[in-house]
Amino acid sequence: MDRRDFLKKSTALALASSCIPRQLSAFSSGLPSPQIRPVGDKSRVVIASRSDAKDNNNRYVGMNVARLVDAAVENLYRENAQKVWKKLFSKDDVVGLKVNCLAGKGLSTSKELVDAVSERLLQVGITPSHIIIWDRSDKDLQRAGYGLYQGNKQPQCYGNNRFGYTSTLYEFGEVGSLVSRILHDQCTAVINLPILKDHGIVGITAALKNFFGAINNPNKYHHNTGDPYVADVNMLADIRNKTRLTLCDALTPQYEGGPPHMPQWTWQQNSVIAAVDMVAMDKVCWEMIENQRRDNGLPSLKQSGREPTYIHTAADDHHQLGTDDTEKMEIVKA
């Protein structure tokens, strides 16, 4: 057995021996889990939509985006949103909000969505300094319209460049990476806040791919349409164990030309998508992209040579990150 095979097998055994990942620990308080646990339950994905998410000037309406967040969370857990936030997070948590700002304004996680999530964390009793809006770099955040901040009066906002990456190399499968020290050292919990868009190499960017912004070498993991690399990255302990909720910004997604912003290929979906199972979310997002491509006369992602097969890999027996089988999902429109 060579070193890589040894690492694969030993890591898989270690994961199998742990009873419940930390990301599920919040559900012990009585929340109905949207995961496929216990056996037999379906993995729930909620698509919450509002036609008034934007005003007549094509600008997001913060109050209505916040209502989308509440609708998504309530339908995901089938419980009052405020109660859900209190069960998911405690006042002692340091919560990282992992946004996606690579494409700049127009195709980055909207500030209105981030503001709504931050406000709900503040209502739980989490202090502003324990909410960290983060991504790859300060520059990416600024290009997307975020104001950088380190202090006590409002949520933090900064990139990996400020603190760097771990000195320890973390490995799973074909991946060996250093992990963001914001994620590793500072955050006790993470809310994944991706944006839904086409990706010119790996097919789509949504929940799973967003964590390429948490490692030092994502440039190494795009070949073979990101398979198995996207799945392997999401097996790294800090990502797998700290991510408690994913809210995908599907307000104005893009179905072609990504990852840069190409407004001619966007559409007004006016939705926030919620899930704990990131694999199920990505399967739903993939189908949404394919529907738009078909409706606009474009070939499928498979025909284009960039089918996101990493989604299926993330669901396989080696990873078990979720399900990509729609028969095992409950897709709720709210």
Instruction: Please state the domain extents for the chain.
Output: 33-333
3-class DSSP state for residue 135? Answer: strand
3-class DSSP state for residue 132? Answer: strand
DSSP state of 265: G
Q: Give the model's pLDDT for residue 17.
A: 32
Q: Is the pLDDT of residue 7 over 90?
A: no
Q: Could you tell me which of 133, 98, 126 has the C-alpha nearest to residue 248?
A: 98
The matching CATH number, chosen from 3.40.50.11440, 3.10.450.630, 3.20.20.80, 3.50.30.50, for 33-333 is 3.40.50.11440
DSSP state of 182: I
Q: Is the pLDDT of residue 317 over 60?
A: yes
The C-alpha atoms of residue 105 and residue 25 are separated, in whole angstroms, by 35
User: Rg for the chain (alpha carbons), in Å?
Assistant: 18
Q: Is the pLDDT of residue 14 over 70?
A: no
Q: Is the pLDDT of residue 1 over 90?
A: no
DSSP state of 245: E
The C-alpha atoms of residue 321 and residue 312 are separated, in whole angstroms, by 10
Q: Give the model's pLDDT for residue 16.
A: 33
String of DSSP letters for 40-67? TPPEEEEEEE-TTSB-TTS-B-HHHHHH
* Tokens of residue 7, six digits: 């690492």
Q: Is the pLDDT of residue 158 over 50?
A: yes
Q: Give the model's pLDDT for residue 207.
A: 98
Taking the whole predicted model, whether its pTM rises above 0.85 is answered as yes
* Per-residue b or e along 64-99, where b marks 16 or more CB atoms closer than 10 Å to that residue's CB: bbbbbbbbbbbbbbeeebeebbbbbbeeebbbbbbb
Q: How distant, in Å, are the alpha carbons of 167, 252, 311 from that of 268?
A: 43, 5, 25
* Per-residue b or e along 166-188, where b marks 16 or more CB atoms closer than 10 Å to that residue's CB: beeebbbbbbbbbbbbbbbeebe
Q: What is the pLDDT confidence band of residue 28, given thresholds at 50, 70 and 90?
A: very low
Q: Biggest alpha carbon distance in the chain?
A: 63
**Residues 212-231 pLDDT 10s:** 999 999 999 999 999 999 99
Q: Give the model's pLDDT for residue 23.
A: 33
Report how far Cα 313 is from the mean position of its chain's Cα atoms: 17
Instruction: Compute how many other C-beta atoms are within 10 angstroms of the C-beta atom of residue 200.
Output: 13
Q: Give the model's pLDDT for residue 268.
A: 96
* Tokens of residue 171, six digits: 């490995």
The whole-number average pLDDT for the span 276-305 is 98
HSE-up of residue 330 (Cα within 13 Å, Cβ side): 15
Q: How many helices (H) and strands (E) does the chain have?
A: 10, 12
Q: Give the model's pLDDT for residue 41.
A: 77
3-class DSSP state for residue 282? Answer: helix
The whole-number average pLDDT for the span 292-302 is 98
- Burial (Cβ within 10 Å: 0-12, 13-18, ≥19) of residue 17: exposed
Q: What percent of the chain has pLDDT over 90?
A: 87
**Residues 240-286 pLDDT 10s:** 999 999 999 999 999 999 999 999 999 999 999 999 999 999 999 99
Mean pLDDT lowest among 6-15, 50-59, 91-100, 159-168: 6-15
The whole-number average pLDDT for the span 143-171 is 96
The whole-number average pLDDT for the span 172-186 is 98
The whole-number average pLDDT for the span 7-18 is 38
